Amino acid sequence: MTATDQSAIVRHPARIALSLTFLAATSLAVDPPLFQPGMQWAITGPSSERRWLEIRDVEQTPTAIVIHISILARKRGAAVWDVHHLIAHMAITEQALQRSVMKPLPHERQSYPESYDQSHQQWLATLRRDGSAPI
């Protein structure tokens, strides 16, 4: 370190400390997960209906991030409450989900969870019984 460098540190210690704090904070910053429970994402479907998925749960397994979703649809022009569960529960990897979704949707009223809960319980029973379940 030269005398000029040492002089700058002595003259501007607060500036140096602030710079170091900023560098440490930015290097440790972690992006939030892309998929979180409660989110809704648009997916492709026939032009006569709107399809989307709701993320119900996200879990880290030893080999992958598994996301539990419901897939829903509503005919275009149908009442807001006229929602159909195309798939009540599906377990999917994060990578597969990234390839499947189009864009996040603004938060809307979520569907009632009963259909999802029942299908998720069946999936868990298969996992416990057989040691694996479809993902």
Chain centroid to CA 105: how far?
12
Q: Is residue 4 in a domain?
A: yes
The pLDDT score that the predictor gives to residue 9 is 47
Number of domains in the chain: 2
Q: Is residue 99 in a domain?
A: yes
Closest of 49, 47, 43, 30 to residue 70, by C-alpha: 43
* C-alpha dihedral, 31 to 60 to 35 to 54, nearest 10°: -160
User: Could you tell me the strand order of the sheet in which 49-60 lies?
Assistant: 84-93, 65-75, 49-60, 40-43, 103-104
CATH number for the domain spanning 53: value is 3.90.70.190
Q: Could you tell me if 59 and 80 lie in one domain? A: yes
Q: Could you tell me if 110 and 87 lie in one domain? A: yes
Whole-number CA gyration radius for the chain: 24
Q: What's 18's DSSP letter? A: H
The pLDDT score that the predictor gives to residue 14 is 54
- pLDDT of 119 > 80? The answer is yes
Instruction: Judge contact between 51 and 42, C-beta under 8 A.
Output: yes
Q: What's 77's DSSP letter? A: T
Q: Could you tell me if 60 and 121 lie in one domain? A: yes
Residues of the domain holding 45 = 40-130
Q: Could you tell me if 91 and 118 lie in one domain? A: yes
pLDDT digits (tens, 9 = 90+) for 46-103: 999 999 999 999 998 888 889 999 999 999 999 888 888 999 999 999 999 999 998 9
